Structure 1
């Protein structure tokens, strides 16, 4: 798959990671490291982007890991042990591994998902991609992702990078936001519109 078209996943329940502030500074620092590394390794940016997405996919898919990241009672030594094992198993490179180490030392590991989202957003902006924020009640399959991108392309929206949010509260369907445009086809919204219509008819 072309790395420029990779899907950044932002899975999050009950609330999505927020970009900006400290998380954005970490993301910019990592982007700076990637730029420096490109002098000796032209493919460094793509490699680091893949590492960030790989680590985030583990966060997305593993509820126990999400709980571990969010638990403020975990000590730095325990966090380091857990993350070292995960990073080694996933074959994450030095740049992202060092970033995680700094975040643990600074007691900022809970910001890991936000840093990943911010990094993906900055990278997409640099590559001239539009970000489509897609919220669903259940994780998307690769086929569904391809269908969403295809529909956008048919509508004249190209170069899209998906950022997915998992929110069981919408019950079903999906919500897509691109810039100021919002397409709400969630089951929750449909039920609300039905409820309003029934009240109006009463």
Structure 2
């Protein structure tokens, strides 16, 4: 399955595929996805957690102790917690964001959904997220799962990548286009 989807490859793809197959067999795909989403949100919000995940300075035992505390506090248990502990024990916790992205892609494919990567300048409200999902559903004819990234550098607007299609309506891109047009005119 991983070889069929170019976004699910390499080390992160192998881990994501193994987790997906286990979650599917245990009929807990939605629960694992919810836990991974929670962990992903925590990772996005905490510089300390990012440092713990990415820094090679921390040894496996230090990483493991800290991760166990984080998982307990977040209420993440079962397959998801065991999986994150396995990544830590194998010194692969630094690929967790890629594994979560690949897992989302596998879940979307399993559920017949499309996945869109969306980059925005600031957090979207639930109303705006629902409107974006509805607009993408009207284009694809499928339910669309969103991977939302916040990047203040785009200034405003959004960048949507859906499969091989990309729509960039960011203010940064528009300003750069105007800048290039002015250079050519001058």
> Normalised by the size of structure 1, how large is the TM-score?
0.82
Once the two structures are overlaid, the 10-residue window that deviates more, 138-147 or 21-30, is 138-147
Give the equivalent residue in structure 2 for 1:115.
Answer: 99
Give the equivalent residue in structure 1 for 2:161.
Answer: 177
Contact 1:27 1:118 in 2 (8 A): yes
Q: CA deviation at 1:111?
A: 0.9
Distance in structure 1 (CA, Å) of the matches to 2:54 and 2:8: 16
> Normalised by the size of structure 2, how large is the TM-score?
0.88
Which runs of 4 or more aligned residues in structure 1 lie more than 6 Å from their structure 2 counterparts after TM superposition? none
- Correspondences of 1:1-202 after superposition (within 5 Å): 20-38=9-27, 44-155=28-139, 157-202=141-186
For structure 2, list consecutive stretches of 5 or more residues without a partner in the other structure: 1-6
Distance in structure 2 (CA, Å) of the matches to 1:132 and 1:107: 29
Find the residue that maps to 2:124 and give its secondary structure: coil
Q: CA deviation at 1:140?
A: 2.6
Cα root mean square deviation, aligned: 1.8
For structure 1, list consecutive stretches of 5 or more residues without a partner in the other structure: 1-17, 39-43
Q: CA deviation at 1:172?
A: 2.3
Which structure has more relative contact order (CA 8 Å, sep 6+)? It is: 1
Distance in structure 1 (CA, Å) of the matches to 2:39 and 2:104: 12
Q: CA deviation at 1:154?
A: 4.5
Find the residue that maps to 1:100 and give its secondary structure: helix
Distance in structure 1 (CA, Å) of the matches to 2:185 and 2:141: 39
Q: Measured at CA, do residues 173 and 111 of structure 1 come closer, stay the same or move farther in structure 2, by a change above 3 Å? A: same
Q: CA deviation at 1:110?
A: 0.6
